[in-house]
Amino acid sequence: MRRIDALGIGLGIFIAGGLAYVGLQLVGLDAQQAGIWSQAVLVVIGLVGWVSTYVYRAVNKNMTYHQQREDYEQAFFQKRLEELTPEELAKIQAEVEQEKQSQI
């Protein structure tokens, strides 16, 4: 997330809170009650929103830990592949081709 995105989200939340406060006052609540309810609504919506994005990322394995682990595994296997001699590489390729033929 870029800095401008974070600032935009913060400004949007600030404006939404102000609009909720004014809207609740127009409905008939006094200033103190409107403030309490607008804060409660923003906290609940914010908390539910954040938790839902966290759960979505966790279920789809789109979190930093999973990404770092995949990058590490790719780098590890690439290094192992580069360390193989041409004879070992040819042997492995022959085994893979043999497995493909046996599966058909």
Q: What percent of the chain has pLDDT over 70?
A: 99
pLDDT single digits (tens) 39-71:
999 899 888 988 998 899 888 888 888 889 999
- Chain mean position to CA 37: 30
Distant-in-sequence contacts of 3-9, Cβ < 8 A, 24+ apart: none
**Annotated domain spans of the chain:** 3-62, 66-103
pLDDT of residue 101: 86
CA distance 4 to 11: 10
CA distance 57 to 65: 11
Tell me the pLDDT band of 33, cut-offs 50, 70 and 90.
very high
Whether the predicted pLDDT of 1 surpasses 80: no
pLDDT of residue 66: 85
pLDDT of residue 64: 85
What is the rounded average pLDDT for all residues in the chain?
A: 90
Whether the predicted pLDDT of 17 surpasses 80: yes
